[in-house]
A and B are shown apart, each in its own frame.
Chain A
Amino acid sequence: MNALPEKPLLNRRFRMQYEPAQQAHVLLYPEGMVRLNQSAAEILKRCDGSATIDEIIAQLEAAFDTTGLRDDVLGMLSHAQEKDWIR
Protein backbone atom coordinates (compact mmCIF):
# COMPACT_ATOMS: atom_id res chain seq x y z
CA MET A 1 0.00 0.00 0.00
CA ASN A 2 1.33 3.42 -0.94
CA ALA A 3 1.55 6.23 1.60
CA LEU A 4 -1.33 8.70 1.45
CA PRO A 5 -0.61 11.99 -0.31
CA GLU A 6 0.27 14.83 2.03
CA LYS A 7 -2.37 17.13 0.57
CA PRO A 8 -4.91 14.93 -1.20
CA LEU A 9 -6.43 16.25 -4.39
CA LEU A 10 -9.48 14.85 -6.16
CA ASN A 11 -8.23 13.28 -9.39
CA ARG A 12 -9.29 15.69 -12.15
CA ARG A 13 -10.46 12.69 -14.14
CA PHE A 14 -13.38 12.35 -11.74
CA ARG A 15 -16.20 14.83 -11.44
CA MET A 16 -18.10 15.07 -8.17
CA GLN A 17 -21.59 16.50 -8.15
CA TYR A 18 -24.77 16.35 -6.09
CA GLU A 19 -27.63 14.42 -7.69
CA PRO A 20 -31.05 15.40 -6.30
CA ALA A 21 -32.67 12.25 -7.75
CA GLN A 22 -30.30 10.09 -5.72
CA GLN A 23 -30.07 12.49 -2.77
CA ALA A 24 -26.36 11.83 -2.84
CA HIS A 25 -23.10 13.02 -4.25
CA VAL A 26 -21.74 10.95 -7.10
CA LEU A 27 -18.35 10.60 -8.75
CA LEU A 28 -18.60 10.58 -12.51
CA TYR A 29 -16.00 9.23 -14.90
CA PRO A 30 -16.04 7.83 -18.44
CA GLU A 31 -19.26 5.80 -18.70
CA GLY A 32 -19.39 5.22 -14.97
CA MET A 33 -20.73 6.50 -11.68
CA VAL A 34 -20.03 5.86 -8.01
CA ARG A 35 -22.63 6.92 -5.45
CA LEU A 36 -20.95 8.31 -2.34
CA ASN A 37 -22.30 8.07 1.15
CA GLN A 38 -22.45 11.29 3.08
CA SER A 39 -19.20 10.89 4.96
CA ALA A 40 -17.24 9.92 1.85
CA ALA A 41 -18.63 12.98 0.07
CA GLU A 42 -17.73 15.28 2.97
CA ILE A 43 -14.17 13.97 2.94
CA LEU A 44 -13.70 14.15 -0.83
CA LYS A 45 -15.13 17.69 -0.97
CA ARG A 46 -12.19 18.76 1.17
CA CYS A 47 -9.56 17.06 -1.00
CA ASP A 48 -8.65 20.29 -2.78
CA GLY A 49 -4.90 19.87 -2.89
CA SER A 50 -4.32 22.64 -0.35
CA ALA A 51 -5.50 21.06 2.91
CA THR A 52 -3.34 18.48 4.68
CA ILE A 53 -4.92 15.32 6.01
CA ASP A 54 -4.71 16.71 9.56
CA GLU A 55 -6.47 19.85 8.43
CA ILE A 56 -9.19 17.83 6.68
CA ILE A 57 -9.78 15.86 9.87
CA ALA A 58 -9.92 19.06 11.92
CA GLN A 59 -12.35 20.64 9.45
CA LEU A 60 -14.65 17.62 9.59
CA GLU A 61 -14.58 17.38 13.37
CA ALA A 62 -15.42 21.09 13.58
CA ALA A 63 -18.16 20.88 10.94
CA PHE A 64 -19.87 17.94 12.62
CA ASP A 65 -19.04 18.98 16.17
CA THR A 66 -17.38 15.71 17.04
CA THR A 67 -13.99 14.09 17.67
CA GLY A 68 -12.26 10.80 16.90
CA LEU A 69 -12.81 10.82 13.13
CA ARG A 70 -9.17 10.14 12.29
CA ASP A 71 -9.43 6.40 11.68
CA ASP A 72 -12.56 6.74 9.54
CA VAL A 73 -11.02 9.48 7.44
CA LEU A 74 -7.76 7.60 6.93
CA GLY A 75 -9.69 4.47 5.99
CA MET A 76 -11.77 6.36 3.46
CA LEU A 77 -8.72 8.10 1.98
CA SER A 78 -6.92 4.78 1.57
CA HIS A 79 -9.92 3.42 -0.27
CA ALA A 80 -10.07 6.55 -2.42
CA GLN A 81 -6.40 6.25 -3.26
CA GLU A 82 -6.79 2.62 -4.20
CA LYS A 83 -9.60 3.61 -6.55
CA ASP A 84 -7.49 6.44 -7.98
CA TRP A 85 -10.07 9.06 -6.85
CA ILE A 86 -7.39 11.12 -5.11
CA ARG A 87 -3.77 11.81 -5.84
Chain B
Amino acid sequence: MTAAAPSPPYWLLAELTYRCPLHCAFCYNPLDYAAVRDELDTEGWFRVMREAREMGAVQLGFSGGEPLVRDDLELLVAEAHRLGFYTNLITSGVGLTETRIAALKEAGLDHIQLSFQDSTRELNDFLSSTRTFDLKKKVAALIKKYDYPMVMNCVLHRHNLPHVDKIIDMALELDAEYLELANTQYYGWAMKNQQQLMPTLEQVRQAEQVVNEYRARIGNRCRLLFVVPDYYEDRPKACMNGWGAVFLAVAPDGAALPCHNARSLPGLSLPSVKDASLRWIWEDSPAFNLFRGDSWMQEPCRSCPEKEKDFGGCRCQAYMLANDASAADPVCAKSPQRDRVDAIIFQAAHPEKREVRAEAILFRTDANSRQLCQPQDQAAQAAQPGKAAIL
Protein backbone atom coordinates (compact mmCIF):
# COMPACT_ATOMS: atom_id res chain seq x y z
CA MET B 1 0.00 0.00 0.00
CA THR B 2 1.34 3.37 -0.93
CA ALA B 3 0.92 6.32 1.40
CA ALA B 4 -0.45 8.53 -1.36
CA ALA B 5 -4.17 9.21 -1.30
CA PRO B 6 -6.08 6.92 -3.67
CA SER B 7 -7.41 8.38 -6.90
CA PRO B 8 -10.96 9.72 -6.69
CA PRO B 9 -14.12 7.63 -6.90
CA TYR B 10 -15.00 8.67 -10.44
CA TRP B 11 -18.19 6.61 -10.47
CA LEU B 12 -20.73 7.25 -7.73
CA LEU B 13 -23.71 4.93 -7.66
CA ALA B 14 -26.62 6.26 -5.64
CA GLU B 15 -28.88 3.33 -4.80
CA LEU B 16 -31.77 5.52 -3.77
CA THR B 17 -34.09 2.77 -2.60
CA TYR B 18 -34.55 -0.98 -2.52
CA ARG B 19 -38.25 -0.53 -3.23
CA CYS B 20 -39.10 -1.83 -6.70
CA PRO B 21 -42.28 -2.61 -8.59
CA LEU B 22 -40.48 -5.47 -10.38
CA HIS B 23 -39.57 -8.82 -8.86
CA CYS B 24 -36.72 -9.95 -11.11
CA ALA B 25 -35.31 -13.35 -10.35
CA PHE B 26 -31.78 -12.18 -11.28
CA CYS B 27 -31.67 -9.02 -9.17
CA TYR B 28 -28.30 -8.41 -7.54
CA ASN B 29 -29.82 -6.62 -4.55
CA PRO B 30 -29.23 -8.33 -1.22
CA LEU B 31 -31.65 -11.12 -0.36
CA ASP B 32 -32.45 -9.45 2.94
CA TYR B 33 -33.07 -5.99 1.44
CA ALA B 34 -36.43 -5.86 3.23
CA ALA B 35 -34.54 -5.43 6.52
CA VAL B 36 -33.06 -2.15 5.27
CA ARG B 37 -35.15 0.79 6.36
CA ASP B 38 -34.48 4.47 6.98
CA GLU B 39 -33.62 5.64 3.47
CA LEU B 40 -31.40 8.69 3.26
CA ASP B 41 -33.47 11.83 2.84
CA THR B 42 -33.05 14.47 0.16
CA GLU B 43 -30.58 16.52 2.19
CA GLY B 44 -28.58 13.38 2.97
CA TRP B 45 -28.19 12.61 -0.74
CA PHE B 46 -27.31 16.25 -1.47
CA ARG B 47 -24.43 15.96 0.99
CA VAL B 48 -23.22 12.64 -0.49
CA MET B 49 -23.24 14.10 -4.00
CA ARG B 50 -21.51 17.30 -2.93
CA GLU B 51 -18.75 15.47 -1.07
CA ALA B 52 -18.22 13.01 -3.91
CA ARG B 53 -18.04 15.79 -6.46
CA GLU B 54 -15.49 17.66 -4.34
CA MET B 55 -13.31 14.54 -4.45
CA GLY B 56 -13.56 14.37 -8.24
CA ALA B 57 -16.49 12.02 -8.85
CA VAL B 58 -17.95 12.76 -12.26
CA GLN B 59 -20.29 9.94 -13.30
CA LEU B 60 -23.38 9.55 -11.15
CA GLY B 61 -25.85 6.70 -11.45
CA PHE B 62 -29.28 6.84 -9.86
CA SER B 63 -30.29 3.27 -9.26
CA GLY B 64 -32.01 1.02 -6.76
CA GLY B 65 -34.46 -0.75 -6.58
CA GLU B 66 -36.42 1.54 -8.80
CA PRO B 67 -35.19 5.13 -8.36
CA LEU B 68 -38.49 6.51 -9.73
CA VAL B 69 -40.31 5.49 -6.57
CA ARG B 70 -38.45 8.37 -4.87
CA ASP B 71 -40.58 11.46 -5.40
CA ASP B 72 -37.52 13.68 -4.86
CA LEU B 73 -35.67 12.20 -7.86
CA GLU B 74 -36.11 15.39 -9.88
CA LEU B 75 -34.58 17.43 -7.03
CA LEU B 76 -31.65 15.04 -6.76
CA VAL B 77 -31.01 15.16 -10.50
CA ALA B 78 -31.16 18.96 -10.52
CA GLU B 79 -28.61 19.19 -7.70
CA ALA B 80 -26.34 16.61 -9.37
CA HIS B 81 -26.50 18.55 -12.62
CA ARG B 82 -25.71 21.81 -10.81
CA LEU B 83 -22.66 20.15 -9.24
CA GLY B 84 -21.37 19.14 -12.69
CA PHE B 85 -22.06 15.40 -12.65
CA TYR B 86 -22.96 13.45 -15.76
CA THR B 87 -26.24 11.94 -14.58
CA ASN B 88 -27.50 8.47 -15.47
CA LEU B 89 -30.91 7.11 -14.53
CA ILE B 90 -30.96 3.33 -14.35
CA THR B 91 -34.59 2.32 -14.43
CA SER B 92 -37.17 -0.34 -15.20
CA GLY B 93 -39.27 2.46 -16.69
CA VAL B 94 -42.15 1.76 -14.36
CA GLY B 95 -43.36 5.17 -13.18
CA LEU B 96 -41.66 7.11 -15.97
CA THR B 97 -44.62 9.19 -17.11
CA GLU B 98 -44.34 11.96 -19.68
CA THR B 99 -44.66 14.53 -16.88
CA ARG B 100 -41.71 13.05 -15.02
CA ILE B 101 -39.53 12.52 -18.07
CA ALA B 102 -40.06 16.19 -19.03
CA ALA B 103 -39.26 17.32 -15.48
CA LEU B 104 -36.11 15.19 -15.43
CA LYS B 105 -35.01 16.72 -18.72
CA GLU B 106 -35.59 20.15 -17.25
CA ALA B 107 -33.55 19.14 -14.19
CA GLY B 108 -30.61 18.23 -16.46
CA LEU B 109 -30.73 14.45 -16.62
CA ASP B 110 -28.18 13.30 -19.21
CA HIS B 111 -29.09 9.70 -19.91
CA ILE B 112 -31.61 6.96 -19.26
CA GLN B 113 -30.78 3.27 -19.17
CA LEU B 114 -33.93 1.21 -19.61
CA SER B 115 -33.98 -2.43 -18.62
CA PHE B 116 -35.85 -5.09 -20.52
CA GLN B 117 -36.08 -8.65 -19.37
CA ASP B 118 -36.66 -10.10 -22.83
CA SER B 119 -37.95 -9.37 -26.30
CA THR B 120 -41.15 -11.28 -25.71
CA ARG B 121 -43.96 -10.16 -23.49
CA GLU B 122 -44.29 -13.59 -21.95
CA LEU B 123 -40.70 -13.96 -20.79
CA ASN B 124 -40.28 -10.30 -19.84
CA ASP B 125 -43.35 -10.44 -17.69
CA PHE B 126 -42.56 -13.83 -16.26
CA LEU B 127 -38.96 -13.08 -15.27
CA SER B 128 -39.89 -9.79 -13.65
CA SER B 129 -43.09 -11.29 -12.24
CA THR B 130 -45.09 -8.32 -13.51
CA ARG B 131 -46.95 -7.11 -16.58
CA THR B 132 -44.63 -4.41 -17.83
CA PHE B 133 -43.57 -5.22 -21.36
CA ASP B 134 -45.95 -2.90 -23.22
CA LEU B 135 -45.26 -0.16 -20.74
CA LYS B 136 -41.53 -0.45 -21.37
CA LYS B 137 -42.05 -0.06 -25.09
CA LYS B 138 -44.02 3.13 -24.44
CA VAL B 139 -41.29 4.43 -22.15
CA ALA B 140 -38.65 3.71 -24.78
CA ALA B 141 -40.60 5.90 -27.22
CA LEU B 142 -40.79 8.69 -24.61
CA ILE B 143 -37.04 8.49 -24.03
CA LYS B 144 -36.50 9.10 -27.73
CA LYS B 145 -39.13 11.83 -27.88
CA TYR B 146 -37.30 13.75 -25.17
CA ASP B 147 -34.00 13.25 -26.95
CA TYR B 148 -32.13 11.29 -24.33
CA PRO B 149 -29.44 8.89 -25.42
CA MET B 150 -30.90 5.49 -24.70
CA VAL B 151 -29.05 2.49 -23.42
CA MET B 152 -31.17 -0.62 -23.37
CA ASN B 153 -30.13 -3.25 -20.93
CA CYS B 154 -31.19 -6.85 -21.04
CA VAL B 155 -29.97 -9.44 -18.58
CA LEU B 156 -29.21 -12.74 -20.32
CA HIS B 157 -29.60 -16.27 -19.01
CA ARG B 158 -30.53 -19.72 -20.25
CA HIS B 159 -34.11 -18.74 -21.08
CA ASN B 160 -33.44 -15.76 -23.33
CA LEU B 161 -29.93 -16.42 -24.74
CA PRO B 162 -31.46 -18.49 -27.57
CA HIS B 163 -33.29 -15.45 -28.90
CA VAL B 164 -30.65 -12.79 -28.49
CA ASP B 165 -31.30 -11.93 -32.17
CA LYS B 166 -34.87 -10.89 -31.32
CA ILE B 167 -33.58 -8.77 -28.45
CA ILE B 168 -31.18 -6.96 -30.78
CA ASP B 169 -33.96 -6.48 -33.34
CA MET B 170 -36.09 -4.89 -30.65
CA ALA B 171 -33.28 -2.51 -29.64
CA LEU B 172 -32.89 -1.47 -33.28
CA GLU B 173 -36.63 -0.98 -33.66
CA LEU B 174 -36.70 1.21 -30.54
CA ASP B 175 -33.70 3.20 -31.83
CA ALA B 176 -31.49 2.49 -28.82
CA GLU B 177 -27.96 3.85 -29.17
CA TYR B 178 -26.42 1.17 -26.98
CA LEU B 179 -27.60 -2.27 -26.07
CA GLU B 180 -26.05 -3.92 -23.06
CA LEU B 181 -26.46 -7.65 -23.25
CA ALA B 182 -25.45 -8.45 -19.73
CA ASN B 183 -25.09 -12.09 -18.93
CA THR B 184 -26.34 -12.79 -15.44
CA GLN B 185 -23.78 -12.35 -12.71
CA TYR B 186 -24.50 -14.60 -9.80
CA TYR B 187 -25.04 -12.42 -6.77
CA GLY B 188 -28.03 -11.80 -4.53
CA TRP B 189 -31.24 -13.19 -6.02
CA ALA B 190 -29.45 -14.38 -9.14
CA MET B 191 -27.19 -16.62 -7.01
CA LYS B 192 -30.26 -17.98 -5.28
CA ASN B 193 -31.73 -18.80 -8.69
CA GLN B 194 -28.51 -19.94 -10.29
CA GLN B 195 -29.76 -23.36 -11.36
CA GLN B 196 -32.68 -21.71 -13.13
CA LEU B 197 -30.57 -19.10 -14.89
CA MET B 198 -27.19 -20.63 -15.67
CA PRO B 199 -26.79 -21.14 -19.44
CA THR B 200 -24.84 -23.87 -21.18
CA LEU B 201 -21.53 -23.15 -22.89
CA GLU B 202 -23.17 -23.87 -26.23
CA GLN B 203 -25.86 -21.24 -25.63
CA VAL B 204 -23.26 -18.62 -24.73
CA ARG B 205 -21.06 -19.29 -27.75
CA GLN B 206 -24.02 -19.27 -30.14
CA ALA B 207 -25.27 -15.98 -28.73
CA GLU B 208 -21.78 -14.49 -29.03
CA GLN B 209 -21.70 -15.48 -32.68
CA VAL B 210 -25.09 -13.87 -33.31
CA VAL B 211 -23.92 -10.66 -31.63
CA ASN B 212 -20.78 -10.56 -33.77
CA GLU B 213 -22.81 -11.04 -36.95
CA TYR B 214 -25.08 -8.13 -35.97
CA ARG B 215 -22.08 -5.93 -35.13
CA ALA B 216 -20.66 -6.45 -38.59
CA ARG B 217 -24.03 -5.63 -40.15
CA ILE B 218 -25.18 -2.58 -38.16
CA GLY B 219 -21.89 -0.78 -37.47
CA ASN B 220 -22.24 2.32 -35.27
CA ARG B 221 -26.03 2.47 -35.48
CA CYS B 222 -26.35 0.72 -32.14
CA ARG B 223 -23.37 -0.34 -30.07
CA LEU B 224 -23.74 -3.86 -28.77
CA LEU B 225 -22.00 -4.58 -25.50
CA PHE B 226 -21.91 -8.27 -24.72
CA VAL B 227 -20.90 -8.77 -21.11
CA VAL B 228 -19.51 -12.28 -21.03
CA PRO B 229 -20.57 -14.65 -18.29
CA ASP B 230 -17.39 -14.99 -16.30
CA TYR B 231 -17.96 -18.62 -15.33
CA TYR B 232 -17.23 -19.45 -18.98
CA GLU B 233 -13.95 -17.54 -19.04
CA ASP B 234 -10.64 -18.77 -17.71
CA ARG B 235 -9.63 -15.44 -16.23
CA PRO B 236 -11.72 -13.39 -13.79
CA LYS B 237 -13.30 -10.04 -14.56
CA ALA B 238 -11.48 -6.94 -13.33
CA CYS B 239 -14.20 -6.50 -10.76
CA MET B 240 -14.96 -2.81 -10.06
CA ASN B 241 -11.64 -2.06 -11.79
CA GLY B 242 -10.11 -2.86 -8.43
CA TRP B 243 -11.47 -2.48 -4.92
CA GLY B 244 -11.67 1.14 -3.85
CA ALA B 245 -10.19 2.24 -7.18
CA VAL B 246 -12.95 4.10 -9.05
CA PHE B 247 -16.31 2.88 -7.80
CA LEU B 248 -18.28 3.96 -4.75
CA ALA B 249 -21.88 2.94 -4.15
CA VAL B 250 -24.11 4.31 -1.44
CA ALA B 251 -26.97 2.03 -0.42
CA PRO B 252 -30.47 3.35 0.43
CA ASP B 253 -29.68 3.44 4.16
CA GLY B 254 -26.38 5.27 3.66
CA ALA B 255 -24.05 2.26 3.83
CA ALA B 256 -21.02 2.94 1.61
CA LEU B 257 -20.13 -0.03 -0.59
CA PRO B 258 -16.88 -0.73 -2.45
CA CYS B 259 -18.89 -2.98 -4.78
CA HIS B 260 -22.57 -3.65 -5.43
CA ASN B 261 -22.57 -6.80 -3.40
CA ALA B 262 -20.28 -5.87 -0.49
CA ARG B 263 -23.13 -6.25 2.00
CA SER B 264 -22.83 -10.01 1.58
CA LEU B 265 -19.21 -10.21 2.73
CA PRO B 266 -19.10 -11.40 6.34
CA GLY B 267 -17.02 -9.45 8.80
CA LEU B 268 -16.81 -6.40 6.57
CA SER B 269 -17.84 -3.41 8.63
CA LEU B 270 -19.38 -1.05 6.11
CA PRO B 271 -19.08 2.63 6.95
CA SER B 272 -22.19 4.79 6.70
CA VAL B 273 -22.43 8.24 5.18
CA LYS B 274 -24.63 9.04 8.18
CA ASP B 275 -21.60 8.75 10.50
CA ALA B 276 -18.59 9.82 8.45
CA SER B 277 -17.46 12.04 5.62
CA LEU B 278 -17.23 10.49 2.20
CA ARG B 279 -13.56 11.43 2.05
CA TRP B 280 -12.79 9.48 5.22
CA ILE B 281 -14.85 6.57 3.95
CA TRP B 282 -13.05 6.49 0.61
CA GLU B 283 -9.52 7.19 1.77
CA ASP B 284 -9.28 5.89 5.31
CA SER B 285 -12.06 3.49 6.24
CA PRO B 286 -10.94 -0.11 6.86
CA ALA B 287 -13.62 -1.44 4.48
CA PHE B 288 -12.38 0.52 1.47
CA ASN B 289 -8.75 -0.34 2.22
CA LEU B 290 -9.27 -4.04 2.89
CA PHE B 291 -8.69 -5.19 -0.71
CA ARG B 292 -7.15 -2.02 -2.13
CA GLY B 293 -3.87 -2.50 -3.96
CA ASP B 294 -2.37 -6.01 -3.84
CA SER B 295 -0.92 -6.52 -0.37
CA TRP B 296 -3.98 -8.59 0.65
CA MET B 297 -3.45 -11.12 -2.12
CA GLN B 298 -2.60 -14.76 -1.62
CA GLU B 299 -1.11 -17.13 -4.14
CA PRO B 300 -1.70 -17.66 -7.01
CA CYS B 301 -2.58 -13.95 -7.33
CA ARG B 302 0.36 -12.53 -5.38
CA SER B 303 2.98 -13.60 -7.90
CA CYS B 304 0.69 -13.55 -10.94
CA PRO B 305 1.83 -11.34 -13.83
CA GLU B 306 -1.84 -10.59 -14.57
CA LYS B 307 -2.71 -9.21 -11.14
CA GLU B 308 -2.53 -5.63 -12.44
CA LYS B 309 -5.06 -6.55 -15.08
CA ASP B 310 -7.80 -8.32 -13.17
CA PHE B 311 -6.94 -7.46 -9.54
CA GLY B 312 -7.60 -11.06 -8.54
CA GLY B 313 -11.20 -10.88 -9.73
CA CYS B 314 -14.26 -10.53 -7.56
CA ARG B 315 -14.04 -10.66 -3.77
CA CYS B 316 -17.69 -11.58 -3.35
CA GLN B 317 -17.36 -14.46 -5.81
CA ALA B 318 -14.24 -15.65 -3.98
CA TYR B 319 -16.24 -15.66 -0.77
CA MET B 320 -19.28 -17.38 -2.28
CA LEU B 321 -17.38 -20.08 -4.17
CA ALA B 322 -14.12 -20.50 -2.23
CA ASN B 323 -15.43 -19.44 1.15
CA ASP B 324 -12.55 -16.97 1.45
CA ALA B 325 -12.94 -13.36 0.33
CA SER B 326 -9.19 -12.93 -0.15
CA ALA B 327 -8.73 -16.03 -2.29
CA ALA B 328 -8.29 -15.86 -6.06
CA ASP B 329 -11.63 -15.59 -7.84
CA PRO B 330 -12.43 -19.27 -8.54
CA VAL B 331 -13.33 -18.35 -12.11
CA CYS B 332 -9.58 -18.16 -12.77
CA ALA B 333 -8.08 -21.32 -14.22
CA LYS B 334 -5.16 -20.81 -11.83
CA SER B 335 -7.43 -20.94 -8.79
CA PRO B 336 -7.24 -24.15 -6.76
CA GLN B 337 -11.04 -23.89 -6.45
CA ARG B 338 -11.79 -23.70 -10.18
CA ASP B 339 -13.40 -27.14 -9.91
CA ARG B 340 -16.34 -25.51 -8.11
CA VAL B 341 -17.07 -23.37 -11.16
CA ASP B 342 -16.63 -26.37 -13.42
CA ALA B 343 -19.14 -28.30 -11.32
CA ILE B 344 -21.72 -25.53 -11.80
CA ILE B 345 -21.05 -25.54 -15.55
CA PHE B 346 -21.43 -29.32 -15.65
CA GLN B 347 -24.75 -29.11 -13.85
CA ALA B 348 -26.00 -26.46 -16.30
CA ALA B 349 -25.30 -28.86 -19.15
CA HIS B 350 -26.66 -31.90 -17.30
CA PRO B 351 -29.56 -30.74 -15.17
CA GLU B 352 -30.66 -34.34 -14.71
CA LYS B 353 -27.49 -35.07 -12.76
CA ARG B 354 -27.93 -32.36 -10.14
CA GLU B 355 -27.45 -33.55 -6.60
CA VAL B 356 -29.84 -30.98 -5.22
CA ARG B 357 -32.77 -30.10 -7.40
CA ALA B 358 -34.18 -26.68 -6.68
CA GLU B 359 -36.81 -26.39 -9.35
CA ALA B 360 -38.63 -23.34 -8.04
CA ILE B 361 -37.58 -19.88 -9.11
CA LEU B 362 -37.53 -17.40 -6.26
CA PHE B 363 -38.77 -13.96 -7.20
CA ARG B 364 -37.43 -10.84 -5.53
CA THR B 365 -40.43 -9.89 -3.42
CA ASP B 366 -40.74 -8.23 -0.04
CA ALA B 367 -42.35 -11.37 1.37
CA ASN B 368 -39.54 -13.62 0.14
CA SER B 369 -36.95 -11.13 1.36
CA ARG B 370 -38.48 -10.97 4.82
CA GLN B 371 -38.35 -14.75 5.03
CA LEU B 372 -34.70 -14.68 4.02
CA CYS B 373 -33.97 -11.96 6.59
CA GLN B 374 -34.49 -14.38 9.42
CA PRO B 375 -31.03 -15.59 10.22
CA GLN B 376 -32.15 -18.77 11.97
CA ASP B 377 -32.65 -21.88 9.93
CA GLN B 378 -31.89 -20.32 6.56
CA ALA B 379 -31.42 -23.68 4.93
CA ALA B 380 -34.96 -24.72 5.82
CA GLN B 381 -36.28 -21.42 4.49
CA ALA B 382 -34.52 -21.93 1.22
CA ALA B 383 -35.96 -25.40 0.86
CA GLN B 384 -39.49 -24.06 0.93
CA PRO B 385 -39.45 -20.59 -0.57
CA GLY B 386 -42.52 -18.44 -0.24
CA LYS B 387 -44.15 -17.36 -3.46
CA ALA B 388 -42.38 -19.51 -5.97
CA ALA B 389 -43.33 -20.62 -9.42
CA ILE B 390 -42.23 -23.56 -11.45
CA LEU B 391 -40.35 -22.51 -14.54
Q: Is the CB of B58 within 8 A of A30?
A: no
Contact status of A30 and B151, CB under 8 A, knowing A13-B177, A15-B86, A21-B8: yes
Q: Is the CB of B149 within 8 A of A13?
A: yes
Total count of chain B residues near the partner, CB < 8 A: 19
Q: Is the CB of B113 within 8 A of A33?
A: no
Q: Is the CB of B61 within 8 A of A31?
A: yes
Residues of B within 8 Å of A19, CB to CB, are 56, 58
Q: How far does the alpha carbon of A29 sit from the alpha carbon of B113 in the complex, in Å?
A: 12
Is B187 among interface residues, defined by CB-CB distance under 8 A? no
- Minimum CB–CB distance from A32 to chain B (whole Å) comes to 7
Is A17 among interface residues, defined by CB-CB distance under 8 A? yes
B97-113: CB near A (< 8 Å → 1, else 0) gives 00000000000001101
B117-157: CB near A (< 8 Å → 1, else 0) gives 00000000000000000000000000000000101000000
Residues of chain B in range 1-39 having any CB-CB distance to chain A below 8 Å: 8, 10-11
Contact status of A31 and B151, CB under 8 A, knowing A13-B177, A15-B110: yes
Is B320 among interface residues, defined by CB-CB distance under 8 A? no
Is A69 among interface residues, defined by CB-CB distance under 8 A? no
Q: Is the CB of A29 within 8 A of B149?
A: yes
- Minimum CB–CB distance from A44 to chain B (whole Å) comes to 16
Residues of chain B in range 60-118 having any CB-CB distance to chain A below 8 Å: 61, 84, 86, 88, 110-111, 113
Is B344 among interface residues, defined by CB-CB distance under 8 A? no
Q: How far does the alpha carbon of A33 sit from the alpha carbon of B11 in the complex, in Å?
A: 10
B253-274: CB near A (< 8 Å → 1, else 0) gives 0000000000000000000000
**Chain B residue, CB-CB nearest to A17:** B84
Residue of A15, A21, A32, A84 touching B56 (CB-CB under 8 A):
A21
Q: Is the CB of B220 within 8 A of A22?
A: no
Residues of chain A in range 1-35 having any CB-CB distance to chain B below 8 Å: 13, 15, 17, 19-22, 26, 28-33
Residues of B within 8 Å of A22, CB to CB, are 8, 56
Contact status of A33 and B220, CB under 8 A, knowing A13-B149, A13-B177, A28-B86: no
Is B243 among interface residues, defined by CB-CB distance under 8 A? no
Is B178 among interface residues, defined by CB-CB distance under 8 A? yes
Q: How far does the alpha carbon of A31 sit from the alpha carbon of B10 in the complex, in Å?
A: 11
**Chain A residue, CB-CB nearest to B177:** A13
Q: Is the CB of B56 within 8 A of A31?
A: no
Residues of B within 8 Å of A13, CB to CB, are 149, 177
Q: Is the CB of B59 within 8 A of A32?
A: yes
Residues of B within 8 Å of A15, CB to CB, are 86, 110
**Chain B residue, CB-CB nearest to A35:** B10
**Chain B residue, CB-CB nearest to A15:** B86
Which residues of B are at the interface with A, using a C-beta cutoff of 8 A? 8, 10-11, 55-56, 58-59, 61, 84, 86, 88, 110-111, 113, 149, 151, 177-178, 220
Which residues of A are at the interface with B, using a C-beta cutoff of 8 A? 13, 15, 17, 19-22, 26, 28-33, 84
